[in-house]
């Protein structure tokens, strides 16, 4: 069995923001295809494309209206096939988003379902009668604010939506829905995609009894900006029926050679444990959560999450990421821990690419990119608009890729769908490519080091007991990774005889000196102690 995905590095491309070749201000498949050599030269193994399917774009493609076609804004099926062929020619795998828990209210299935209670698609979505007072059947909330139920006068019922009103949830208790979704996935597998990233993989099933979700058991001293975070979602998602459905998906994947899956664990409680459950044998190949995408940048956090996963799921496999299209970029989140933007960006890259598991990089991460400060008038993200000004929405991280110092940073010949601001444009590819010491060249070195070092790809992890801000762990029994997670220098005593990899530390006798945001790799699994 070819387990190419185990320990692999995936690069997430946000198609709207990667490269616009059609000249309409929105990125497209032709643009991505033209830029694939850049990703191959960077040294990643796979490319994850956020949704490119037909969509009204109320949630930027995460509201699908046709699961087996490409939205015209991105191109055509022929463009998609050309992208896959070019990627494979460069040695890259292609992973595509699958948004299966919900669709657009413009999808033909939902349009039919809402017409009556007895049509062929009547039970394809989650419908419920009102309570006697006309209110929704329970207290479930939408991630995007307000109730998770919307009234439909034709059926005289509410329909359930975990996200936008325009994103109705499928009823996975109906076997016909599962069968149909497997057929949709087979369509793309037959076109040569190498894997799927499953959006909100723990959201597929709902509680049949429609029981109320509980208040979050963690005491709240004040209201959350998003009230969704005030509930413990025991019944609106995370149902046990999810796992047999995941096993059906895995059985489909196993019919094809060398394919892989990764799930997004959208959960604030026990997400690491659930990642283990969802990647048990016969289920997903990999799973990631948002546990390393918060504001905590401590050795205790990284150690606790990695130990929790591998202790609880020795047969599972994680994917780790520090940023993606849904969160503030980590160079912005962790700025107070960096001696400089470049120093923090390099250290975060070194740390992430040293972790046990598979890795996902968010586009622009390899440039040390930061979040863009946007005005309210710039926003397109429904979540950002709903909760303005806090929490910050998702548009700030989704601004266009910056390629050079030409107008619109080489992304588009016309004004792009989100603005390119000077702070982001300054950190462009052309300005860093081939420049010693740049963040981009460091990422290339680090990716090559990981790829050539089996201990970093699949080696087990043993942590060393050191005080903050030092994080140290040995991979594979003979390679120790050491990080100073602070803007101040740190010195350690060690029996190490030498350093390897693209380190930025010094070893003099028995003293290892880590500069601000310093890091090093030591052969031999040496022990350390504070000076």
Active site residues: 199, 255
Residue identified by tokens 């970093």 is: 456
The CA-atom distances, in angstroms, between 302 and each of 45, 309, 472 are: 24, 11, 10
CB 137 within 8 A of CB 128: yes
The contacts of residue 395 (CB under 8 Å, 6+ apart) are 372, 374, 378, 379, 380, 381, 384, 418
DSSP-H helix ranges across 334-479:
341-352, 382-386, 422-425, 429-432, 439-451, 454-458
Q: Identify the residue whose tokens are 């509410």.
A: 158
Whole-number Å distance between alpha carbons of 122 and 108: 12
Q: Give, as one character, the DSSP assignment of residue 228.
A: G
- How distant is the alpha carbon of residue 48 from its chain centre? 9
- The Cα–Cα gap between 348 and 331 comes to 8
Using CA atoms, how far apart are residues 195 and 53, in angstroms rounded to an integer? 16
Neighbour count for residue 96 (Cβ, 10 Å): 21
- Would you tell me how many other CB atoms lie within 10 Å of the CB of residue 77? 12
d(CA 334, CA 341): 10
How far apart CA 148 and CA 328 sit, in angstroms, is 25
Q: CA nearest 312: which of 354, 359, 283, 275?
A: 275
Distance CA 213, CA 308 (A): 26
- Tell me how far apart the alpha carbons of residues 154 and 64 are, in angstroms, rounded to a whole number: 23
DSSP code per residue over 409-431: GGS-SS--SS---HHHHTT-HHH
Residue among 5, 7, 32 at smallest CA distance from 17: 32
* Cβ neighbour number for residue 320 with a 10 Å cutoff: 23
Q: Structure tokens of 352?
A: 């992430």
> CA-CA distance, 438 to 431, in Å (whole number)?
9
- Looking at residue 456, what DSSP letter applies? H
Cis peptide before 391 (omega within 30 of 0): yes
Q: Which two tokens stand for residue 302?
A: 């990284």
């Amino acid at each position: 069995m070819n387990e190419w995905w185990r320990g692999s590095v995936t690069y997430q491309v946000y198609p709207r923001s990667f490269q616009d070749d059609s000249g309409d201000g929105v990125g497209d498949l032709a643009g991505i295809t033209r830029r694939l050599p850049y990703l191959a030269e960077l040294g990643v193994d796979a490319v994850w494309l956020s949704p490119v399917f037909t969509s009204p774009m109320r949630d930027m493609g995460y509201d699908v209206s046709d699961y087996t076609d490409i939205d015209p804004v991105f191109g055509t099926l022929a463009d998609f096939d050309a992208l896959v062929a070019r990627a494979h020619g460069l040695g890259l795998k292609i992973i595509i988003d699958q948004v299966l828990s919900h669709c657009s209210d413009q999808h033909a299935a939902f349009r039919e379902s809402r017409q009556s209670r007895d049509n062929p698609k009547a039970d394809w979505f989650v419908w419920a009668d009102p309570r006697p007072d006309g209110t929704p059947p329970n207290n479930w909330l939408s991630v995007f604010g307000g109730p998770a139920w919307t009234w439909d006068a034709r059926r005289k019922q509410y329909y359930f939506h975990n996200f936008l009103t325009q994103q109705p949830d499928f009823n996975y208790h109906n076997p016909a829905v599962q069968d149909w979704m497997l057929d949709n996935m087979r369509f793309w597998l037959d076109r040569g995609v190498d894997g799927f990233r499953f959006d909100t993989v723990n959201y597929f099933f709902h509680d049949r009894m429609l029981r109320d979700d509980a208040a979050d058991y963690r005491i709240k001293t004040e209201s959350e900006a998003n009230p969704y975070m005030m509930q413990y979602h025991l019944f609106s998602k995370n149902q046990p029926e999810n796992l047999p459905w995941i096993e059906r998906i895995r059985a489909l994947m196993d019919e094809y050679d060398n394919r892989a899956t990764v799930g997004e664990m959208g959960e604030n409680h026990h997400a690491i444990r659930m990642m283990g459950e969802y990647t048990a044998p016969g289920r997903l190949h990999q799973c990631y959560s948002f546990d390393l995408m918060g504001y905590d940048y401590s050795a205790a956090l990284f150690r606790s999450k990695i130990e929790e996963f591998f202790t609880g799921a020795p047969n599972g496999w994680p994917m780790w990421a520090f940023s993606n299209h849904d969160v503030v970029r980590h160079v912005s989140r962790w700025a107070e821990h960096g001696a400089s933007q470049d120093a923090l960006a390099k250290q975060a890259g070194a740390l992430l690419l040293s972790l046990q598991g598979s890795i996902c990089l968010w586009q622009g991460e390899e440039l040390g990119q930061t979040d863009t400060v946007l005005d309210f008038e710039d926003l397109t993200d429904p979540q950002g608009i709903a909760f303005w000004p806090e929490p910050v929405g998702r548009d700030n991280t989704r601004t266009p890729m910056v390629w050079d110092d030409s107008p619109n940073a080489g992304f588009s010949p016309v004004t792009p769908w989100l603005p390119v601001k000077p702070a982001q444009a300054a950190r462009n590819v052309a300005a860093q490519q081939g420049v010693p010491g740049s963040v981009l060249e460091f990422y290339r070195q680090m990716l090559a080091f990981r790829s050539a070092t089996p201990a970093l790809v699949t080696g087990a992890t043993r942590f060393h007991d050191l005080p903050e801000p030092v994080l140290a762990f040995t991979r594979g029994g003979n390679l120790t990774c050491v990080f100073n997670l602070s803007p101040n220098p740190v010195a350690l005593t060690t029996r190490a005889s030498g350093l390897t990899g693209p380190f930025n530390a010094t070893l003099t006798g028995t003293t290892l000196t880590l500069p601000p945001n310093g890091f090093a790799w030591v052969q031999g699994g040496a022990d350390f102690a504070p000076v």
